[in-house]
Amino acid sequence: MKVYDALLLVSFGGPEHPDDVLPFLANVTRGRGVPPERLAEVAEHYQHFGGVSPINQQCRDLRQALERGTDLPVYWGNRNWHPMLADTVAQMRDDGVEHVVAFVTSAYGGYSSCRQYLEDIAAARAAVGPSAPEIDKLRHFHDHPGFVEPHADAVRAARATLPPGGTVRVVFTAHSIPTSMAATAGPEGGRYEAQLRETAALVSAAGAPDLPWDLVWQSRSGPPHVPWLEPDVNDHLAALAADGVTGVVVSPIGFVSDHLEVVWDLDNEAATTAKSLGLDFARAATPGTDPRFVAMVHDLVRERVEGSSRRSRLGTLPLWDACPAGCCPPPRRGPSRE
Ligand SMILES: CC1=C(CCC(=O)O)c2cc3nc(cc4[nH]c(cc5[nH]c(cc1n2)c(C)c5CCC(=O)O)c(CCC(=O)O)c4C)C(CCC(=O)O)=C3C
Ligand SMILES: [Fe+2]
């Protein structure tokens, strides 16, 4: 039986000062072919919040909540902004930590949501050298009751804020990704979308079984000629309004906290779109530090130690502890980006 001596929270990272915004965006998009116009637009979104992304504070809160439920020390490191993962891994090494179990704040498979975090962990360990601790990433948790139930309650609560009557639909959202990345997600392809669809069905069944639902995409990046998953949430709201829908519950199941994509792309952009269409709009909360979500992390560690026959899960898609080598490969870089 494997014994862990630390729990590591791994996340995306975000700026916390106006001067951080451009260097942060440079870290996110290095070598990824995101056009400068898109970067300027996203920098603007951050500046609306004084250059402070909510994501780092959300990680601090989650870390603190996690510490209350375990004897293990809880560390935190990010892909794109301080505290950077390599610094955290060096700290763990200095503290004598040898076997780490890592919780990544993304529930799904795919390059951006899974493989890239594995690469980040490997790069951070390589930077520290042979004395770096071993780090095992926990499984995709898209169908864990501790993730599904808070989303389902949030759908119910958001729905209750809509005016009574009318024709209401649940609109689940996740970060759009290039269709080429979606095609190669998981060992057989399509895993990001398949898992999101499974989560959507589970959240719908538990939170609003009488309402029809859709899964659509938000926060598209990249150059315009590269195809990404569609429809975009804003276009979808227009189509629903044209079909006679009068109200929507928008549930961002693609995310675990109300970070910038949620508070800008949904609470601002999509809400404005809905208003202009005359649609009633209610955004469902993300898990954040819901006690069930916090307990889920500890349960995933238990699962990992006890073995995969002891999984708490609501879905049926294949799951594994360690991703097969070569699944969710990085996107091919165009010649202009090398
Ligand atoms: C699947 C996915 C998730 C969910 C899984 C996970 O959580 O990891 C996610 C989360 C997030 N994405 C975030 C921010 C950004 N993502 C960008 C760009 C991109 N995202 C992509 C995918 C995803 N992104 C992709 C394929 C790109 C294109 C460039 C590339 O191939 O990498 C850009 C560049 C500018 C732009 O948006 O164009 C920014 C600033 C933040 C932090 C928010 C905050 O600060 O509160 C979070 C949690
Ligand atoms: Fe992103």
Residues 311 and 139: their CA atoms lie apart, in Å, by: 10
Give the residue carrying structure tokens 């637009």: 41
* 48 labelled binding-site residue: no
pLDDT in tens, the chain (338 residues): 679 999 999 999 999 999 999 999 999 999 888 998 999 999 999 999 999 999 999 999 999 999 999 999 999 999 999 999 999 999 999 999 999 999 999 999 999 999 999 999 999 999 999 999 999 999 999 999 999 999 999 999 999 999 999 999 999 999 999 999 999 999 999 999 999 999 999 999 999 999 999 999 999 999 999 999 999 999 999 999 999 999 999 999 999 999 999 999 999 999 999 999 999 999 999 999 999 999 999 999 999 999 888 899 999 999 999 999 989 999 876 544 43
What does the pLDDT read at residue 123? 98
For 107-162, give the DSSP string: -S-SIIIIIHHHHHHHHHHHHH-TTSPEEEEPPP-TT-HHHHHHHHHHHHHHHHTS
What does the pLDDT read at residue 333? 66
CB 84 within 8 A of CB 97: no
* 117 labelled binding-site residue: yes
Intra-chain end-to-end CA distance of the chain, in Å = 44
Does any ligand 1 atom lie closer than 6 A to the CB of residue 286?
no
Distance 10 CA to ligand 2 centre (A): 15
Q: Which atom of ligand 1 is nearest to the CA of 24?
A: 40
Give the residue carrying structure tokens 């780090």: 135
Domains identified in the chain and CATH numbers: 6-141+290-337 (3.40.50.1400), 145-283 (3.40.50.1400)
CB 186 within 8 A of CB 103: no
Residues 141 and 105: their CA atoms lie apart, in Å, by: 10
Token representation of residue 158: 């958001």
Residue nearest (by alpha carbon) to ligand 1 atom 28 = 221
Pocket probe mutation, ligand 1, options 120, 147, 219, max atoms within 8 Å of Cβ: 219
Q: Which atom of ligand 1 is nearest to the CA of 221?
A: 38
What does the pLDDT read at residue 159? 98
Does any ligand 1 atom lie closer than 6 A to the CB of residue 260?
yes
Note the ipTM here: 0.95
* 175 labelled binding-site residue: yes
Question: In this predicted model, what pLDDT tens digit does every residue of 216-242 receive, in sequence order?
Answer: 999 999 999 999 999 999 999 999 999
Q: Is the dihedral angle over the CA atoms 325, 326, 328, 329 positive or is it negative?
A: positive
Distance 1 CA to ligand 1 centre (A): 36
Does any ligand 1 atom lie closer than 6 A to the CB of residue 273?
no
At 248, which helix (H) or strand (E)? Answer: strand 247-251
Question: In this predicted model, what pLDDT tens digit does every residue of 49-107 receive, in sequence order?
Answer: 999 999 999 999 999 999 999 999 999 999 999 999 999 999 999 999 999 999 999 99
CB 100 within 8 A of CB 4: yes
Query: For residue 201, what are the contacts with CB-CB under 8 A and spacing of at least 6?
Result: none
Q: Is 190 exposed, middle or buried (0-12, 13-18, 19+ CB in 10 A)?
A: middle
Does any ligand 1 atom lie closer than 6 A to the CB of residue 32?
yes
Distance 87 CA to ligand 1 centre (A): 22
